[in-house]
Amino acid sequence: MLRTTLSALLILGVSAPAMADWTGLGELGVVAARGNTETDTVNGRIELDYTRERWANESVISGVYSRDADRTRASRLVLGNKTDYNLSERSYLLGALRYDRDRFTDFSYQTTASLGYGHRFFDTDRHKLRGEIGPGVRYAEFRDSGENDTDFIVRGFLNYSWQISETAELKNRLLVESSTDNTFTENELSVQVAINDRLALKAGLAVRHNSDVEPGTRNTDTLTTANLVYNFRRN
């Protein structure tokens, strides 16, 4: 299943011909503590966005790894790809794939595939808000038992950005994948301040919540980050 998922993400990401315009960014945060405690934490993210006529594609890979002297404290990898087809300036159809592997949840990994409709509620120089909704399927493999489960889900997504000033921007992304067995919710809030055209500093808070977990497992995880961001563009 993992091989199929990665292949599908790759196909969606490269199936279109070379795009005239594409943008991207990479961000990285590293913390190393020594002395009374020894802890190493690394988190990173790469985004690629490109468009051609009515088509748009977004590809994301993100991860976090944390280890102290005794054991690994966090290990997470997320791959995502979304393709849009614009019906008008405000509305579009979409197909989305997401692969999520987190060592410290009940699941070895989860994979979701969904279709949907998106709408840009407003799109100005300072404020942008778009929402998406649609049906999908989630495949999950449980860590302890090795069993797997397939659910029909409803996917909802909200993406808001506010250009506070010429150099500062606030973003908030809310993702909900809901089924009869479990509802997964993730909210990512960030503030980014540009240093120059290429570099920026970013502070973020990510909250992940699963409604149904095994005893002894917390429903909610939070991650606070401070990263250096590099923006790149090719024409």
The domain that holds 183 is classified in CATH as: 2.40.230.20
- Considering its fold, how many domains does the chain have in total? 1
> Once rounded to an integer, what is the mean pLDDT over residues 206-216?
82
Inter-CA distances, 197 with 10, 45, 47, 192, Å: 29, 19, 17, 13
Q: Which is higher by pLDDT, 193 or 65?
A: 193
Range of the domain at 30: 2-234
Percent of the chain with pLDDT over 70: 86
Its sign, for the CA torsion 153, 80, 40, 168, is negative
Range 100-111 burial, b when 16+ CB lie within 10 A, else e = bbbeebbbbbbb
Give every CB contact of residue 110 below 8 A, 6+ residues apart in sequence: 98, 99, 100, 101, 138, 139, 140, 141, 184
The pLDDT score that the predictor gives to residue 126 is 96
Q: Identify any residues that bridge with 84 across adjacent strands, giving them in sequence order.
A: 56, 94
The pLDDT score that the predictor gives to residue 106 is 73
Compute the distance between CA of residue 2 and CA of residue 99 in angstroms, rounded to an integer. Answer: 8
Compute the distance between CA of residue 152 and CA of residue 178 in angstroms, rounded to an integer. Answer: 8
The pLDDT score that the predictor gives to residue 113 is 97
Q: Which of 73-77, 160-164, 224-228 has the highest mean pLDDT?
A: 160-164
The pLDDT score that the predictor gives to residue 234 is 53
> Once rounded to an integer, what is the mean pLDDT over residues 79-107?
92
> Once rounded to an integer, what is the mean pLDDT over residues 13-20?
48
Kindly report which listed range (67-76, 82-91, 125-134, 198-207) carries the lowest average pLDDT score.
Answer: 67-76
The pLDDT score that the predictor gives to residue 233 is 65
Inter-CA distances, 191 with 44, 86, 102, Å: 16, 28, 25
Its sign, for the CA torsion 118, 96, 185, 22, is negative
The pLDDT score that the predictor gives to residue 11 is 46
- Classify burial at 173, counting beta carbons within 10 Å of its beta carbon; exposed 0-12, middle 13-18, buried 19 or more: middle
> Once rounded to an integer, what is the mean pLDDT over residues 209-234?
83
pLDDT averaged over every residue in the chain: 85
Structural contact between residues 154 and 173, judged by C-beta atoms closer than 8 angstroms = no
For the stretch 28-50, pLDDT in tens is 998 665 554 567 889 999 999 98
Structural contact between residues 209 and 218, judged by C-beta atoms closer than 8 angstroms = no
The CA-based angle 39-192-62, given to 5 degrees, is 50
> Once rounded to an integer, what is the mean pLDDT over residues 191-220?
88
Q: Tell whether the model's pLDDT for residue 136 goes beyond 80.
A: yes
Compute the distance between CA of residue 207 and CA of residue 174 in angstroms, rounded to an integer. Answer: 10
8-state DSSP, 5: H
Q: Which is higher by pLDDT, 212 or 187?
A: 187
Q: Tell whether the model's pLDDT for residue 7 goes beyond 70.
A: no
